[in-house]
């Protein structure tokens, strides 16, 4: 059995289910920046994240993006339950935030296991709940925080999911994630640096206030 599977999910699932996941799941290594699921695509697999981080994005009519939340190891994409079972198309885009290890579970298995394993059932329900809470936090952030606070929170979240306080990104990319302009990000980052909360370098930001 895969070590990472045992580590991330061993305490959740019974051995029999772990073995099924191990034999049926297709293991995939995906490098940073790859789109693993896109808006409008049918969902045939459910990804179990063994290692790495994935960002989940929504897109508007003009093609501009907005980051919804991050998935970390041990997480799965909640959209795939409802979509995968009902042969629906994806409403979101999933992009790897760092190099990631995935186990792809065929959509049919999701339903089979729901009936067969209570631990799987519990896992699905819990994951739904966690995703919902995550989404609520994002709504709060959008509604109640100023842009400078949003940028700092975004950097802190990002540092957390990639396990590194040095973030390799550009002002433009932060602007895309938060759905604002590069100029605004540059100005507010400068302010955050003056306040001692971050340190800026070219293509690289270090988060000090974690």
- What's the min distance (Å) between Cβ of 65 and DNA? 13
Angle at 60 between CA 68 and CA 38, to 5 degrees: 65
Which of 54, 189 has the CB closer to DNA? Answer: 189
Burial of 47: CB neighbours in 10 Å, binned 0-12, 13-18, 19+: buried
- What's the min distance (Å) between Cβ of 210 and DNA? 20
Burial of 173: CB neighbours in 10 Å, binned 0-12, 13-18, 19+: middle
Task: Tell how far CA 105 is from the center of its chain.
Answer: 17
Which of 3, 62 has the CB closer to DNA? Answer: 62
Which of 81, 176 has the CB closer to DNA? Answer: 176
CB 24 within 8 A of CB 105: yes
- What's the min distance (Å) between Cβ of 113 and DNA? 43
Which of 6, 169 has the CB closer to DNA? Answer: 169
- What's the min distance (Å) between Cβ of 185 and DNA? 8
Q: Which residues bind DNA (CB under 7 A)?
A: 146-148, 170-172, 179-184, 186-190, 200, 202-203
Task: Tell how far CA 182 is from the center of its chain.
Answer: 23
């Amino acid at each position: 059995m895969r070590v990472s599977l045992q580590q991330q999910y061993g305490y959740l699932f019974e051995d029999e289910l772990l073995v099924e996941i191990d034999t049926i799941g297709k293991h995939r290594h995906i490098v940073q920046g790859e789109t693993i699921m896109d808006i409008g695509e049918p969902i045939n697999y459910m990804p179990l994240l063994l290692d790495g981080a994935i960002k989940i994005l929504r897109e508007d009519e003009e093609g501009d993006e907005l980051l919804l939340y991050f998935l970390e190891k041990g997480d799965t994409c909640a959209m795939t339950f409802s979509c995968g079972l009902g042969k629906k198309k994806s409403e979101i885009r999933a992009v790897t935030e760092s190099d990631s290890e995935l186990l792809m579970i065929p959509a049919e298995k999701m339903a089979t296991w729901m009936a067969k394993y209570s631990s799987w059932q519990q896992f699905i329900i819990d994951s739904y709940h966690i995703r919902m809470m995550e989404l609520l936090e994002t709504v709060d952030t959008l509604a109640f925080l100023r842009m400078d606070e949003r940028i700092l929170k975004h950097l802190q979240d990002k540092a957390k999911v990639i396990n590194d306080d040095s973030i390799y990104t550009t002002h433009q990319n932060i602007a895309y994630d938060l759905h604002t302009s590069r100029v605004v990000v540059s100005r507010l980052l400068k302010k955050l640096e003056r306040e001692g909360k971050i340190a800026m370098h070219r293509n690289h930001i270090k988060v000090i206030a974690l």
